[in-house]
Amino acid sequence: MDPKCWRVELNDGRFIPVLGFGTYAPEEVPKSMAGAATKVAIDVGFRHIDSAYLYQNEEEVGKALREKIRDGTVKREDIFYTTKLWATFLRPELVRPALERSLKKLGLDYVDLFIIHVPIAMKPGEELVPKDAGGKIILDTVDFCDTWEALEKCKDAGLTKSIGVSNFNHKQLEMILNKPRLKYKPVCNQVECHPYLNQRKLLEFCKSQDIVLVAYSALGSHRDPNWVERDSPYLLEDPILNAIAKKHNRSPGQIALRYQLQRGVVVLAKSFNEKRIQENFQVFDFELTPEDMKAIDGLNRNFRYEKLLL
């Protein structure tokens, strides 16, 4: 089967490609690189592209998508594009304008998936992370159930095909699932997930609710000092991961991605390096053994790379 066709069904009947291309990069990386890397990713075979308002690169990513549609590499319906509602737009009246702003930057009529980026509301405004004079984040008080209703309206308006959440824990998910007059369940919960933080319990809960778990930081390689502590361990240097990689004649990164696919997790791979982008897509033609999976399960230490906001 063509890897580009590897998809799983969401609870709203739509399908999401199991392997996605992440476009986040630290501030010092030129935004143009996100566009160039997106074009490479599409040429390699990626059809699921993940971005967000927070990443401040949607103009570049949108331009890359439109170029690849224009040159005939893909049709719009081949692409599954995700954007995220940032924390400063969680008030219900700000939700649709935020999505419309992303659509305008992207040059698209709709996105495939629109998700609440974090279960934290911050003071509305143009500042991405509003802080007081003492450097403390200024929070806002918002009922996420009201925010969710505004997302449901965006889906009904055809601005997004599916809606979901990100960085939600079990209790926060239940708050949405148990809300009165729930029209649409979240189709996914995108969270940090890798062998050092395998999210076993959250994955089990999501599966029981027919919610797809989407893994970011799956390679543990993103080390932006704004979010990640400098002394964090290097996942891809882990000896067990490397031993399994050597056995299969693969890279540790390919093993980390394949591990998620075999657990039923949709996984995002992020790299702006052409060779690595190609390598990250080559995870459909080998299989980890039950012993490999057990050994990787054993690496879990509930270690979170993304510490500084959540």
55 is catalytic: yes
Whole-angstrom Cα distance, residue 310 to residue 298? 25
Binding site annotation covers 48? no
Count of C-beta atoms within a 10 Å radius of residue 156: 11
Q: Residue written as tokens 């400063």? A: 88
Can you list the alpha helix ranges (DSSP code H) found in the chain? Answer: 32-44, 58-70, 92-106, 144-156, 170-177, 200-208, 239-248, 252-262, 274-281, 290-297
Largest distance between two CA atoms of the chain: 56
Nearest residue to 20 via CA among 192, 218, 203: 218
Catalytic residue among 24, 53, 55, 216: 55
Which tokens is 37 given? 């890397």
Query: Which residues carry a binding-site annotation?
Result: 117
Query: Which residues carry a binding-site annotation for substrate?
Result: 117
Q: Which of the residues are catalytic?
A: 55
